[in-house]
Amino acid sequence: MASHDAEMVSKLSKQERNNALARLRHDRATNGFKVYIRDFLGHDPIKQPEWELNGPHLTIQANASLKTYQEVHHFIETQLGDRSWFEKATQAPPQPFKGDKLELSDQRPYHIPVKILGKNGANQAVDAVVLIPDENGRVKLLTINRPDGTKAVPGGMNENTATETYTAELLEEVFSNDLFSVGSATEKLINEKDSMELFNGLTRLFKEDKTFAALQTLNLPPYDGAMSAEYIRTVLEAIQSSEQTGSPAQKEHLCVLLKCHLYRHFLPQQYNTFKEIVSTDRMALECRVNQSDSRNTDYAWMETTPYVRVMDKDTFESLQQQAGLTRLAGGDDAVDAQFCELQEFWTGERSIFCDHGVIVLDAVAAAIEQGKLTLSPGLSAQLEEIKKQIRLDKQLIRDRKSQAALKDGSVFADRGSKSEENALKANTDPGQSHPNLYNYNK
């Protein structure tokens, strides 16, 4: 019975995956394929004024010379070694060149969205799915809101082992904004520690720990006998105001890492309680390609290992009290964090980040199969609401496609509805130059 119920949820997951891929195709057809490379080094905006990196976009000016395009291709080649990939992936303006100029039909600057993946090949991430069933069998999901306007489950790049990253991302993205803040439980706990020991620990950390290499040039604020939490906040303010510690996002990330480091090392009892509760009886799903991540190409793609933790409300509240993490506050890549009814993940103004809807449904299916959740009337009602929303999303995607086709008949000219439907069943992406990505098997 459990296997049959799990299979029903898995079918819903496949429908969600199809919608996610369809949204990605629509975005690429409308806005152009996004180019992702590790770095653009050596560009001189004065010597090479016809193209530039401007925020997340690579801009090539209208009627740029052939030499300019060759320069751009050179930078791509140094990273990926494949010029033809760049031409296809960015949907470059049509050939031929006329003389040494490339005539653009609309005579406007050519914008190529650019983001950065850490390396070619698989870029490993870890996601955390925390599910809490109530007495009626209805399930709540731990979610975060991201700065890009999407909602997601906690997670991030795997920089250690997958299990360590799972614990770290839950701490960073769900609780870190509240660590050592005024009136927080951790403020009271850290103030009970020896302040001079904290100061000496920070001094060693700034000098020796490679994780905080950016802080080694930062002068540690002098210790004036303040309470430990107050001194920590002084240090965090110094990091935020320093010009030596990178961009605002990098500074924020450093502050999060520092707070979590201090929590682990100066409140070990609380940290070990947190780690034990979130890790007990968790499940690891199979590593998979995050198929609808817009950063994916045949040369670099995102993979994730989802971890699933099902616990009751009392266990989670015990975690918060014993670990001193009494407020869901967000942090790092999370503007905030909260629990929501399972079906609410599919509603509201914010869209779901990449494959996270698929991951959540796969987590629910696995939890049912392993006996950690039961397909109660409450959960069944939630899944029925999700099913309705997935159908609505599918229709909205089709409507947007039809509107785009009416506006510009060439946008979807090579993507007939029948071939698109067949491609979805085959888990491929019709009309794209990178079909192998969606057939990738680890």
Section 30-56 average pLDDT: 50
Its domain, for residue 262, covers 194-266
Percent of the chain with pLDDT over 90: 50
Better-scored residue on pLDDT, 195 or 232 = 232
Whether 218 is covered by a domain: the verdict is yes
pLDDT of residue 79: 45
State residue 328's pLDDT score: 96
User: What is the model's pLDDT at position 190?
Assistant: 96
Q: Give me the pLDDT at residue 212, please.
A: 84
1 falls in which pLDDT band (50, 70, 90)? low
The answer to whether residue 203 is domain-embedded is yes
pLDDT for 52: 59
CA dist., res. 27 & res. 439, Å (int): 20
Of 239, 266, 293, the last residue of a domain is 266
Average pLDDT over residues 16-29: 82
Would you report the helix, strand and coil content of the chain in percent, each value rounded to 5?
A: 50, 15, 35
Query: Would you say residue 80 lies in a domain?
Result: yes
pLDDT class of 383 with cuts at 50, 70, 90: very high
In the prediction, which pLDDT does 311 show? 97
Whether 272 and 313 have beta carbons less than 8 Å apart is answered as no
pLDDT at 104: 35
The average pLDDT across 369-397 equals 94
Neighbours of 75 (CB within 10 A): 19
427 φψ region: left (φ > 0), alpha (ψ -120 to 50), beta (else) = left
d(CA 265, CA 244): 26
Q: Which of 75, 95, 115 is the last residue of a domain?
A: 115
pLDDT of 87 higher than 80: no
Q: Tell me how many domains the chain contains.
A: 2
Q: Concatenated DSSP letters for 407-421?
A: H-TTTTTT--HHHHH
Give pLDDT, residue 316: 96
CB atoms closer than 10 angstroms to residue 331: 25
The answer as to whether 53 is a domain residue is yes
Percentage of residues in the chain having pLDDT higher than 70:
69
- Establish if 362 belongs to a structural domain: no
Residue 95 covered by a domain = yes
The whole-number pLDDT of residue 368 equals 96
Tokens 């997670």 -> residue? 155
Would residue 66 count as lying in a domain? yes
Which of 250, 266, 282 lies at the terminal end of a domain, its last residue? 266
* Residue 304 is assigned to a structural domain of this protein: no
CB atoms within 10 A of CB 141: 22
- Residues 169-182 pLDDT 10s: 999 999 999 999 99
- Judged by average pLDDT, the poorest of 93-102, 358-367, 384-393 is 93-102
Residue type, 339: F
State the average pLDDT over residues 230-243: 92
The Cα 64–Cα 76 span in angstroms is 17
Please write the tens of the pLDDT for every residue from 115-162.
Answer: 456 676 788 999 999 999 999 999 999 999 998 889 999 999 998 899
CA distances from 389 to 147, 344, 354, 357 (A): 24, 10, 17, 12
Confidence band (pLDDT; 50, 70, 90) for 398? confident
pLDDT at 33: 45
